[in-house]
Each structure stands twice: as structure tokens, then as C-alpha cells.
């Protein structure tokens, strides 16, 4: 540390794509005391728009959204100069999802 109390680094930004408000609320609670910015959406189309306009550090995506799935959102990050870290969530044990993520 250099003794300065002012942190000039840009905050980390996180896109949360989930249909469930409780998912967003949990992340808000986790990030409240951090410099991380949280952007929330419940649809794939809004998430795609945010991914294309922003350069978030991380995308946390529910396995299936009403109008898209995680593979669509991941595909939108392929040509980005700095691809975000990508986390896929599921509330159920899903062996096919596990196999898809690994491949």
C-alpha cells in the first residue's frame, strides 16, 4: 500500500442475468461493501445488449433465460478484446449442463 486512502482503479463490473430477483438480491448483498458494480437483467435480449455495449469483467448467467440460454450469451463474448469471466448457474443437478460446460 502507498498510504493513500483513495483507490483510483476502475470498479469491477458484473452482469447478472437471471429470471429470479433473489439471485440479484443475493449478489447485491455480497457486493454492497465492495467497489464492484452490478448490472441486472432477467432476459437474454437485455443481457446481450449489455454485453455488446459494455466490457464487464464477469457475467453470471442462469442456465436458461426466457428468451435465450447461457450458450447464446457466451457466444456474444467470443470476439471481445477482453472476454469476461463467465459463470453459469443452475438450481438443479444438471449432468448435461456439466458436460456442455466442460466441452
Q: Is residue 37 part of a domain?
A: yes
CA distance 8 to 25: 27
What average pLDDT does range 77-103 have in this prediction? 84
Residue 2 scores a pLDDT above 60: no
Q: Is residue 5 part of a domain?
A: no
Q: By C-alpha distance, which of 67, 41, 66 is closest to 54?
A: 41
Question: What is the separation, in whole angstroms, between the first and last Cα of the chain?
Answer: 41
- CATH number for the domain harbouring residue 37: 3.40.50.2300
The pLDDT tens digits of the residues spanning 50-88 come to 998 888 889 999 988 999 989 999 999 988 888 999 998
Residue 48's SS3 state is helix
Number of structural domains in the chain: 1
Average per-residue pLDDT in the chain? 85
Domain residue limits at 89: 13-102
CA distance 57 to 35: 13
Amino acid at each position: 500500500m502507498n498510504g493513500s486512502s483513495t483507490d483510483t482503479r476502475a470498479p469491477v463490473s458484473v452482469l447478472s442475468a437471471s429470471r429470479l430477483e433473489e439471485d440479484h438480491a443475493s449478489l447485491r448483498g455480497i457486493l454492497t461493501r465492495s467497489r464492484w458494480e452490478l448490472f441486472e437483467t432477467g432476459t437474454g435480449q437485455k443481457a446481450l445488449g449489455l454485453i455488446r455495449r459494455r466490457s464487464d469483467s464477469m457475467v453470471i448467467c442462469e442456465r436458461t433465460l426466457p428468451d435465450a440460454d447461457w450458450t447464446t450469451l457466451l457466444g456474444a463474448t467470443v470476439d471481445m478484446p477482453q472476454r469476461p469471466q463467465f459463470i453459469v448457474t443452475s438450481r438443479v443437478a444438471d449432468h448435461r449442463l456439466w458436460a456442455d460446460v466442460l466441452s
